């Protein structure tokens, strides 16, 4: 498009490829979240994203609205426990949101067509180290429960939504990202902004609702944050921690990002999410230690780490002496290491595997077995709270082998041709995979979007580094050949 090469659109592209564009999306989403103007927020975000899609010849700017846009769903209009939101159950609102979604998808397709990103698409797909693993996983999931009496349309809501999001988001960025320099930093910045948005949503919830009541299971169940609940909010924040340590490593003022990661861990504690604390604490500790030796702020990191250890010890003593367990320990003291029904679900999934060992019983089997429909429980709530057990019971041996193969292909991308920046993307994915061992987040749409983007970024960076290495080798060989000829 000739018009997009004008001075104005060149400036638009420069703006959208930088860090300020994600900040604009972040500001709009958070404003909608706080005010309860969800529909207006989505309208503005979709309008901006669609405009950018058709005027910027690189797919990178679409990362920000895909990751951060869901924060426009407010606490005010959130779904309740077993109850539908009055806003999101409105036929008019649902229709409007479907139209917004269709516009966003259409703009993505228009981007591919306008800038002819389909040309050379097969070569990109063929050279991708992750496409085969994604394809195998998706096929296995769609085959899940194929010969089971429990297979129904609801099963395909989980598997179909997962596959469509993963494949479409991954392929879009694989085909459309042409300017690969700075891609990892851009994506990690968006991940970090998403975590800050979730953290602000948690803090806003406390400001609006906390009046000194016990932080127990009952309080935790009221933590409805729009697109997130207590567990998923804590988990999303933990998943983002590698992004903070990435910037702490590469930026001159890395100390600010270490402090940011510390603030995120405080918010994780406020979510009362045990899984988030279980995995978040070691991820945070490893990140701080890493910064002591590998960051641009080693001196600060070492002082901060030693001081932090001392403060934590003193803080724990003071906390216990002042009866802190009674204040903040309500939920943790009541629950402890209890599985909260997870072990029973995992046992049921093993029984499903015994009954249907090849293709499993489908993704809605627990919803049916436990009669969740009678309690109006969300289908995603009725999953196994563990990716491995979910795949075992829902997809059988075929699905488990497919998942293992998918994991192998992802690990290979981060181990082979090591890159420090790509390593942090891998750690972000690792945090997601670990947390999914205690929750259903592997199948949640907003988490699948994040997962697909991270895979695409890793894939693009890996292929780009391979091409650079091959080019360097060719230059070296050419120089050696010239030297030999001269001799």
Give residue-wise pLDDT tens across range 149-197.
999 999 999 999 999 999 999 999 999 998 888 999 999 999 999 999 9
Query: Does the pLDDT of residue 328 top 70, yes or no?
Result: no
Task: Note the pLDDT of residue 370.
Answer: 85
Task: Note the pLDDT of residue 405.
Answer: 97
428-455 confidence digits (pLDDT tens) = 999 999 999 999 999 999 999 999 999 9
Task: Give CA–CA dist 244/258, Å, rounded.
Answer: 7
Residue 305: band (very low, low, confident or very high) from pLDDT cuts 50, 70, 90: confident
Task: Note the pLDDT of residue 381.
Answer: 86
Q: Angle at CA 66, nearest 5°, toward 61 and 72?
A: 120
Q: Angle at CA 169, nearest 5°, toward 16 and 157?
A: 135
Whether 275 and 232 have beta carbons less than 8 Å apart is answered as no
80-135 confidence digits (pLDDT tens) = 655 567 888 889 999 999 999 999 999 999 999 999 999 989 999 999 999 999 99
Query: Does the pLDDT of residue 236 top 90, yes or no?
Result: yes
* Secondary structure (3-state) at 384: coil
Torsional sign, CA 407, 413, 415, 416: positive
Residue 471: band (very low, low, confident or very high) from pLDDT cuts 50, 70, 90: low
Task: Note the pLDDT of residue 303.
Answer: 85
% of the chain exceeding 90 in pLDDT:
68
Q: Which residues contact 246 (CB under 8 A, 6 or more apart)?
A: 185, 188, 421, 424
Beta-ladder partners of 154: none
Query: Can you read off the two tokens belonging to residue 418?
Result: 């090591």
Task: Note the pLDDT of residue 1.
Answer: 54
Of the two residues 87 and 474, the one the predictor is more confident about is 87
Task: Give CA–CA dist 39/33, Å, rounded.
Answer: 10
Task: Give CA–CA dist 217/332, Å, rounded.
Answer: 9
Task: Note the pLDDT of residue 301.
Answer: 78
Query: Can you read off the two tokens belonging to residue 282?
Result: 């070691």
Task: Note the pLDDT of residue 379.
Answer: 85
Asked which of 251-255, 310-314, 327-331, 423-427 is least confident by mean pLDDT, the reply is 327-331
Task: Give CA–CA dist 90/204, Å, rounded.
Answer: 25
Residue 337: band (very low, low, confident or very high) from pLDDT cuts 50, 70, 90: low
Whether the full predicted model's pTM is greater than 0.85, yes or no, is yes
Listed in sequence order, the DSSP H helices in 4-90 are: 7-16, 20-35, 38-55, 63-68
Query: Does the pLDDT of residue 321 top 60, yes or no?
Result: yes
Task: Note the pLDDT of residue 299.
Answer: 80
Which strand (E) or helix (H) includes residue 339? none
37-49 confidence digits (pLDDT tens) = 999 999 999 999 9
Nearest to 167 by CA among 196, 133, 193, 199: 133
Query: Does the pLDDT of residue 330 top 60, yes or no?
Result: no
Task: Note the pLDDT of residue 397.
Answer: 97
Task: Note the pLDDT of residue 295.
Answer: 79
Nearest to 194 by CA among 380, 100, 75, 66: 66
% of the chain exceeding 70 in pLDDT:
88
Of the two residues 385 and 297, the one the predictor is more confident about is 385
Of the two residues 2 and 486, the one the predictor is more confident about is 486
Residue 294: band (very low, low, confident or very high) from pLDDT cuts 50, 70, 90: confident
Q: What backbone phi and psi angles, to 5 degrees, belong to 83?
A: -120, 145
Task: Note the pLDDT of residue 298.
Answer: 78
Task: Note the pLDDT of residue 98.
Answer: 95
Task: Note the pLDDT of residue 424.
Answer: 96
Report, as an integer, the average pLDDT of 229-234.
93
Q: Which residues contact 108 (CB under 8 A, 6 or more apart)?
A: 53, 62, 172
Task: Note the pLDDT of residue 416.
Answer: 87
Task: Note the pLDDT of residue 470.
Answer: 60
Task: Give CA–CA dist 70/187, Å, rounded.
Answer: 16
Residue 3: band (very low, low, confident or very high) from pLDDT cuts 50, 70, 90: low
Query: Does the pLDDT of residue 69 top 70, yes or no?
Result: yes
Query: Does the pLDDT of residue 475 top 80, yes or no?
Result: no
Whether 264 and 281 have beta carbons less than 8 Å apart is answered as no
Arithmetic mean of pLDDT over the chain: 89
Query: Does the pLDDT of residue 270 top 80, yes or no?
Result: yes
Residue 462: band (very low, low, confident or very high) from pLDDT cuts 50, 70, 90: very high
């Amino acid at each position: 498009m000739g018009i997009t090469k004008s001075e104005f659109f060149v400036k638009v592209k420069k703006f959208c490829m930088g860090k300020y564009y994600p900040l604009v999306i972040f500001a709009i989403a958070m404003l909608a979240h706080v005010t309860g103007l969800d529909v207006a927020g989505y309208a503005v975000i979709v309008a901006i994203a669609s405009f950018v899609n058709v005027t910027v010849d690189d797919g990178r700017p679409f990362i920000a609205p895909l990751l951060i846009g869901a924060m426009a769903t407010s606490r005010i209009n959130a779904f309740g426990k077993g109850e539908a939101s009055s806003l999101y159950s409105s036929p008019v609102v649902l229709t409007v949101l479907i139209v917004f979604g269709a516009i966003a998808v259409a703009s993505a397709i228009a981007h591919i067509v306008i800038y002819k990103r389909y040309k050379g698409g097969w070569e990109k797909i063929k050279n991708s180290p992750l496409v085969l693993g994604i394809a195998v996983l998706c096929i296995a999931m769609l085959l899940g429960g194929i010969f089971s009496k429990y297979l129904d349309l609801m099963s395909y809501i989980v598997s179909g939504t997962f596959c469509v999001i993963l494949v479409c988001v991954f392929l879009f960025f694989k085909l459309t990202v042409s300017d690969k320099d700075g891609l990892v930093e851009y994506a990690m910045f968006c991940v970090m902004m998403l975590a800050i948005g979730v953290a602000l949503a948690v803090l806003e919830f406390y400001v609006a609702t906390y009046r000194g009541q016990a932080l127990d299971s009952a309080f935790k169940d009221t933590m409805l944050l729009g697109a997130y609940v207590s567990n998923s909010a804590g988990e999303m924040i933990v998943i983002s921690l590698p992004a903070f340590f990435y910037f702490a490593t590469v930026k001159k003022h890395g100390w600010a990002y270490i402090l940011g990661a510390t603030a995120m861990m405080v918010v994780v504690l406020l979510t009362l999410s045990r899984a988030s604390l279980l995995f978040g604490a070691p991820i945070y500790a490893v990140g701080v230690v890493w910064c002591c030796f590998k960051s641009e702020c080693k001196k600060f990191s070492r002082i901060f780490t030693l001081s932090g250890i001392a403060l934590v010890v003193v803080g724990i003593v003071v906390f216990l002496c002042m009866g802190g367990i009674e204040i903040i320990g309500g939920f943790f003291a009541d629950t402890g290491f209890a599985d909260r029904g997870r072990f029973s679900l995992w046992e049921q999934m093993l029984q499903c595997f015994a009954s249907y060992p090849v293709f499993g019983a489908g993704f809605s089997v627990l919803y049916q077995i436990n009669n969740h429909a009678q309690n109006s429980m969300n289908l995603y709530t009725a999953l196994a709270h563990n990716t491995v057990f979910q795949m075992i019971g829902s997809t059988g041996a075929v699905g488990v082998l497919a998942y293992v193969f998918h994991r192998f292909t992802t690990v290979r991308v981060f181990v082979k041709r090591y890159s420090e920046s790509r390593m942090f993307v891998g750690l972000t994915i690792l945090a997601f995979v670990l947390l999914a061992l205690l929750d259903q987040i592997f199948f949640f749409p907003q988490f699948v979007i994040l997962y697909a983007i991270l895979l695409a970024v890793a894939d693009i960076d890996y292929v780009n580094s391979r091409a650079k290495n091959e080019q360097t080798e060719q230059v070296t060989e050419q120089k050696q050949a010239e030297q030999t000829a001269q001799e």
